[in-house]
Amino acid sequence: MDNKKINVEFTNFEKIYYDLLSKRVKLKFDDFHKEKEGGGKGTQIDFYPEDRSLLNSIINNNRSKEKFLIPQRFADRMVEDEIFSDGKELYWGTSNEIGQYFDDLIIALLKDVHDSDYFKSKLIGDNYFKDGRIGNFYLHLSRYDPNRIKILRKSFDLFIQNEIEKYFIEEKDGVFDIEKKVDFVKKSNLDNYLTSKQLPDKLKTYVEEVIILFLNSFYLELLSK
């Protein structure tokens, strides 16, 4: 058996993710700067005394020194200083923020699936994204079956909490749907939120266990009509 690790890239997803992460920290710094400006203490060194150059890289979305943009020491300090309520808010934002960017991230992830021969080999059909118009496909799906989007949002909320649910395709009276069968229990050594460093491997699992099933169930239902 070939146990060689399969490496896949999530270029589209990561572009949006890191842009959002950088802007999230920048907004917090801007608020800090405005609040402290009158007292003369609102500079980058005041916001993060340990390493001003690191903060500058983060708010400019520069990953040349830190591959995952935010090292653990920075995340710990942001929570300790109550800049962010917890690591989840830092890495992913509030629930309202997630709702605002959720569609964009999923469309980006679908583009990464489309660009990957490995993921495409797991799809039943190959015409999900006609002419590469993935945004149109997602918009059509959200109108055609909004319940599937709700399931996807729930699975994404669990995903960023370092949990994942496994789904199976079930057929009843010619209707194909996705049903949850197995809960993947969160490992005890993981935090209750997903960090940038953990993201690549976890995204691969999320696509394999959720996105692929999500797409295949939709395709089977179309075939049955």
> What pLDDT sits at residue 132?
61
> What pLDDT sits at residue 190?
53
Q: Give me the helices (H) in 93-145, please.
A: 95-115, 117-120, 134-144
CA proximity to 181, closest of 194, 170, 193: 170
Q: Same domain, yes or no, for 166 and 77?
A: no
Q: Does the residue 216 lie in any domain? A: yes
Q: Same domain, yes or no, for 128 and 171?
A: yes
Q: Same domain, yes or no, for 75 and 153?
A: no
Q: Same domain, yes or no, for 123 and 210?
A: yes
> What pLDDT sits at residue 222?
63
Per residue in 73-102, is it b (16+ CB within 10 Å) or e — as a string?
A: ebbeebbeeebbeebbbbbbbeeeebeebe
Q: Does the residue 4 lie in any domain? A: no
User: Cα separation of 18 and 31, whole Å?
Assistant: 20
**For the chain, what is the domain count?**
2
Q: Same domain, yes or no, for 74 and 166?
A: no
Q: Does the residue 101 lie in any domain? A: no
Q: Same domain, yes or no, for 68 and 117?
A: no
Q: Same domain, yes or no, for 60 and 130?
A: no
Q: Same domain, yes or no, for 119 and 179?
A: yes
Structure tokens at 173: 């009276």
Where among 59, 92, 125 does a domain terminate? 92
> What pLDDT sits at residue 215?
83
Q: Same domain, yes or no, for 205 and 120?
A: yes
Q: Same domain, yes or no, for 208 and 165?
A: yes
Q: Same domain, yes or no, for 176 and 217?
A: yes
> What pLDDT sits at residue 168?
58
Q: Does the residue 1 lie in any domain? A: no
Q: Does the residue 26 lie in any domain? A: yes
> What pLDDT sits at residue 35?
77
Residue with tokens 């197995």: 182
> What pLDDT sits at residue 128?
62
In order along the chain (225 residues), what is the average pLDDT of each group of 10 residues?
A: 69 97 95 71 81 94 95 94 94 95 94 90 72 75 82 90 70 55 48 87 90 81 62
Q: Give the range of the structural domain holding residue 26, as residue numbers without chain letter.
A: 11-92
> What pLDDT sits at residue 214?
83
Contacts 24+ apart (CB under 8 A), 14-18: 14/199, 15/108, 16/101, 16/104, 16/105, 16/108, 17/105, 17/196, 17/199, 18/61, 18/63, 18/69, 18/196
User: Cα separation of 161 and 144, whole Å?
Assistant: 28
User: Cα separation of 21 and 88, whole Å?
Assistant: 11
> What pLDDT sits at residue 1?
40
Q: Does the residue 105 lie in any domain? A: no
User: Cα separation of 23 and 29, whole Å?
Assistant: 10
Considering just the CA atoms, what is the radius of gyration of the chain in Å?
Answer: 20
User: Cα separation of 169 and 194, whole Å?
Assistant: 27
> What pLDDT sits at residue 2?
47
Q: Does the residue 100 lie in any domain? A: no
Q: Same domain, yes or no, for 78 and 117?
A: no
pTM for the model? 0.85
Q: Does the residue 104 lie in any domain? A: no
Contact between residue 155 and residue 164 where contact means Cβ atoms under 8 Å apart: yes
At residue 17's C-alpha, the angle toward residues 178 and 58, to 5°, is 155
User: Cα separation of 179 and 168, whole Å?
Assistant: 5
Max alpha carbon distance in the chain (Å)? 70
